[in-house]
């Protein structure tokens, strides 16, 4: 069975317009080193686009059960693999995705994209260079497929931490787009929480799964508690002469815990206190509590929405080329 890679490159919607529901998007870069240490060479998608185009799918978050669009055209253009796709506006998830494309673009932000493919031929002198890919799908990345109901604005990003007003305006402006009631409610709740955090009324954290919540509303665990619990277990196992069996049973679990701590790149002081995300169960440490650049937030009432915002990635077309229906 072919192993399908998911190539993630910082890309953005290039055009929203033409017919209602159609988007033109850059889904992968050409000639750039991606996160999987691959370089897609010019022409590497030509064969698969010619021979396999009718089998290529447009998914949400690589979830094969969430087909959101029908590819209309695919080609290499301006250093990117570019697709035009018609989103299915007869489904809630298709309408939400299309509305988010428009919302993100209005605020100078972007949804990102990724492809599912497998290498067919590599350069013999430089194995990073892929000369031919077989492409199976491309995906719009928003997290709502993998974690239903998850907030789609990454408030932890450097841009929003520096200018939280931008995130707040974007969240509030979402209500003016054709979002489902469920997703609109998620945005409203996050906006309310962010306002309180900026006013110093709560300590806001955001999990990698996308959920935002007040750190102080959940039980706080400590590293000292964990150590004591492990020690009690050890004494109990010693009494029952079952240390080896219990350690073997918990070996994978303990390894994952240790690796998780290492990957946070935090000091022991940083991981001393934590809560569990109510959605996915991940550890959220007290050091993850967001500290915003409050000076960037103007103390005036919201009377409308903003058209401003700094893009996270470079646009492949000028703003004037993008038509928002």
Task: Please say if the pLDDT value at position 242 is more than 50.
Answer: yes
Per-residue pLDDT reduced to its tens digit, 85-110: 999 999 999 999 999 988 888 888 77
Strands 80-87, 22-29: parallel, antiparallel or unpaired by DSSP? antiparallel
Distance, CA of 257 to CA of 20 (rounded, Å): 47
C-alpha dihedral over 254, 260, 263, 267, to 10 degrees?
-80
Do residues 282 and 210 make contact, with C-beta atoms less than 8 angstroms apart?
Answer: no
* Domain assignment present for 67: yes
How many residues in total does the chain contain?
A: 325
Does 166 share its domain with 135?
Answer: no
Task: Please say if the pLDDT value at position 152 is more than 80.
Answer: no
List C-alpha distances in Å: 65 to 68, 145, 186: 9, 9, 23
Give strand pairing partners of 275.
284
For the chain, the C-alpha Rg in angstroms (whole number) is: 23
Q: Percentage of the chain surpassing pLDDT 70?
A: 68
Q: What is the DSSP letter of 33?
A: B
Q: By residue range, what is the domain housing residue 173?
A: 151-201
Does 34 share its domain with 133?
Answer: yes
Do residues 116 and 6 make contact, with C-beta atoms less than 8 angstroms apart?
Answer: yes
Does 70 share its domain with 164?
Answer: no
Distance, CA of 316 to CA of 223 (rounded, Å): 47
Determine the pLDDT at residue 320.
Answer: 27
Distance, CA of 190 to CA of 184 (rounded, Å): 10
**Residue of higher predicted confidence among 268 and 76:** 76
Does 187 share its domain with 239?
Answer: no
List C-alpha distances in Å: 288 to 10, 216, 262, 283: 25, 12, 15, 10
Residue among 111, 105, 7 at smallest CA distance from 60: 111
Q: What is the DSSP letter of 215?
A: G
Task: Please say if the pLDDT value at position 147 is more than 60.
Answer: no
Strands 63-77, 80-87: parallel, antiparallel or unpaired by DSSP? antiparallel
Mean pLDDT of 42-53: 97
* Domain assignment present for 193: yes
Does 137 share its domain with 10?
Answer: yes
* Domain assignment present for 300: no
Does 14 share its domain with 137?
Answer: yes
Does 62 share its domain with 12?
Answer: yes
Determine the pLDDT at residue 209.
Answer: 77
Least confident of 39-48, 59-68, 141-150, 189-198: 141-150
Least confident of 116-130, 184-198, 287-301, 307-321: 307-321
Q: What mean pLDDT is reported for the chain?
A: 78
pTM of the predicted protein model: 0.66
Number of domains in the chain: 3
Distance, CA of 211 to CA of 200 (rounded, Å): 20
Residue among 12, 244, 203 at smallest CA distance from 105: 12
C-alpha dihedral over 130, 136, 137, 138, to 10 degrees?
10
Determine the pLDDT at residue 187.
Answer: 85
Does 186 share its domain with 102?
Answer: no
**Residue of higher predicted confidence among 294 and 174:** 174
* Domain assignment present for 212: no
Does 158 share its domain with 105?
Answer: no
Does 51 share its domain with 102?
Answer: yes
* Domain assignment present for 52: yes
């Amino acid at each position: 069975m072919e192993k399908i890679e998911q190539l993630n490159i910082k890309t953005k919607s290039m055009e929203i317009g033409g017919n209602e529901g159609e988007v033109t998007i850059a889904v992968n870069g050409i000639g750039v080193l991606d996160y999987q240490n691959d370089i897609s060479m010019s022409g590497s998608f030509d064969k698969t686009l010619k021979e396999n185009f009718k089998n290529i799918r447009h998914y949400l978050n690589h979830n094969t059960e969430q087909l959101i669009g029908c590819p209309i055209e695919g080609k290499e253009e301006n250093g990117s693999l570019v697709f035009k796709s018609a989103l299915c506006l007869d489904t809630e998830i298709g309408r939400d995705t299309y509305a988010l494309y428009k919302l993100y673009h209005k605020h100078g932000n972007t949804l990102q994209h990724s492809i599912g493919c497998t290498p067919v031929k590599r350069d013999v002198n430089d194995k990073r260079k892929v000369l031919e890919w077989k492409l199976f799908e491309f995906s719009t990345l928003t997290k709502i497929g993998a974690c239903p109901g998850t907030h789609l604005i990454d408030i932890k990003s450097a841009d929003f931490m520096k200018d939280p007003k931008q995130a707040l305006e974007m969240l509030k402006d979402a209500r003016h787009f054709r979002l489902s009631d469920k997703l609109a409610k998620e945005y409203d709740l996050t906006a309310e929480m962010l306002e309180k955090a900026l006013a110093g009324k709560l300590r806001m954290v955001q999990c990698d799964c996308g959920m935002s919540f007040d750190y102080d509303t959940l039980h706080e665990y400590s590293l000292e508690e964990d150590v004591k619990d492990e020690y009690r277990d050890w004494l109990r196992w010693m009494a029952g002469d079952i240390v080896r069996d219990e350690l073997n049973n918990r070996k994978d679990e303990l390894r994952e815990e240790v690796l998780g701590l290492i990957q946070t790149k935090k000091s022991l002081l940083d991981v001393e206190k934590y809560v569990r995300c109510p959605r996915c169960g991940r550890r959220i440490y007290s050091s993850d509590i967001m500290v915003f650049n409050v000076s960037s937030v103007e103390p005036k009432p919201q009377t409308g929405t903003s058209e401003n915002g700094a893009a996270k990635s470079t646009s492949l077309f000028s703003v004037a080329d993008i038509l928002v229906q």
